[in-house]
Amino acid sequence: MTIKYIDLFCGIGGFHQAMKRIGGECVMACDIDESCRKIYKQNYNIDPLSDIKDVDPNELPDFDIILGGFPCQSFSNSGKKKGLDDERGQLFNYIINIANIKRPKFMFLENVKHIRKIDNGKVFEYLLQQIDSIGYSCNVIEISPHELGVPQQRERVIFICIRNDIYDKDKKIDYTPSNKQIILENFLEKNPDKKYNVSNEIKSVLEAWDEMIHHVETNEKLSPTILCKEFNSNYSIEEFNSLANWKQDYITKNKPLYDKYSNKWDEWFQKYNSLLTKREVYCKLEWQVGLKKENDSIFNHFIQVRQSGIRVKKAKYFPTLVAIVQTPIYGKEKRYITPRECARLQSFPDDFIMHTSDNIAYKQFGNAVNVDVVHHAISLTLSQYPC
């Protein structure tokens, strides 16, 4: 018998891709974003509804599973973290209403791991209470694509909800990933278009920072965030105390590094002053790759130009794809990763039809659920609970 499901907050169909591997049939999809609905139609020949608020559960056909990567902006570190005070955070209740009326066997819901901590755990507790109140047992797992052999660190929580009348407490499902080997080259495009190269300005900024990194001794600690504009600042006690706590902390912790290399820093900052002060982010370096290694370089790693500064991360796997403009830079090739590479990092197949606008495609993949992650949770559950 074919497994039938509805795909809520469907985006471009990460859950749909996972169910396609299982042989599921989508009987309804829904998303507020018009460009996502168009991509969904192009790939799956299904017209998603536009707003979950307009869905009448009584008019839906019967189905076995509810799937939903419900909006995470109100819970995410990259959002404003308003939780249930945000209207988007309240959309979870529409899932609960549909489930309460239609009584599917399962719900698989995805969100950011930070949802556990919002409002001291009260939001997470509320979600579990709502699931329990309509007669579902819930197991919450935390998983990232890099644990499944995909080179992206993207921790997410999956709510695995099973209707109480079919739930068997004696069935213990081990969702522990197998930690497959990551082969980075399998996810990179060969000879990508030169339009993805970083701009000359960004390249110059990175080369400037790389020059300074080469002056630093091996095994030197380069964290927390280096604020090079603050090395020669002379604050009065009152002025310093008026600064944000994080800035006071960074300045204090940067001081030994500056004192040790003061001549080099001064010469370097004078040389690149006009470039580094062009944008505030250029003056800040987040070195998140541990102690400096011998002959290390900023270009050995992945880089993101963020509001918080130039973030450098280990090249073992890509930083989390997000829906805002923080497209990772592949340091070795001095270029941004391509939309197709983003698709691969979200475990979408190479025949997936992407949006023709790179900016929109980046946003859509940043918002998508990772196919391998949700397939892992769904397939293991259904292996113990056949529909």
Q: Annotated active-site positions, please?
A: 72
Tokens of 380: 């293991």
Give me the sheet containing 65-68, strands edge to edge: 25-30, 4-8, 65-68, 106-112, 156-163, 136-143
Please enumerate in sequence order all residues whose Cβ is within 8 A of that of 361, keeping only pairs 6 or more positions apart, or say none: 339, 342, 354, 355
Residue with tokens 């460009």: 35
Tokens of 185: 């080259």
Residue 27 carries which side chain, given as an amino acid letter? Answer: V
Residue 26 near residue 16, CB atoms below 8 Å: yes
Which residues on neighbouring strands pair with residue 318, listed in sequence order? 152
Q: Is 263 helix (H, G, I), strand (E, B) or coil?
A: helix
Q: Is 91 helix (H, G, I), strand (E, B) or coil?
A: helix
Angle between helices 262-276 and 245-260 (to 10 degrees): 130
Residue 276 near residue 204, CB atoms below 8 Å: no
Q: Cβ-count burial of 207 within 10 angstroms (0-12 exposed, 13-18 middle, 19+ buried)?
A: middle
d(CA 348, CA 188): 14
- Left if phi > 0, otherwise alpha if psi is -120 to 50, otherwise beta: which for 21? alpha
Residue 36 near residue 9, CB atoms below 8 Å: no
d(CA 228, CA 158): 41
Residue 185 carries which side chain, given as an amino acid letter? Answer: E
Please enumerate in sequence order all residues whose Cβ is within 8 A of that of 195, keeping only pairs 6 or more positions apart, or say none: none
CA dist 253 → 153, 212, 286 (Å) = 28, 18, 13
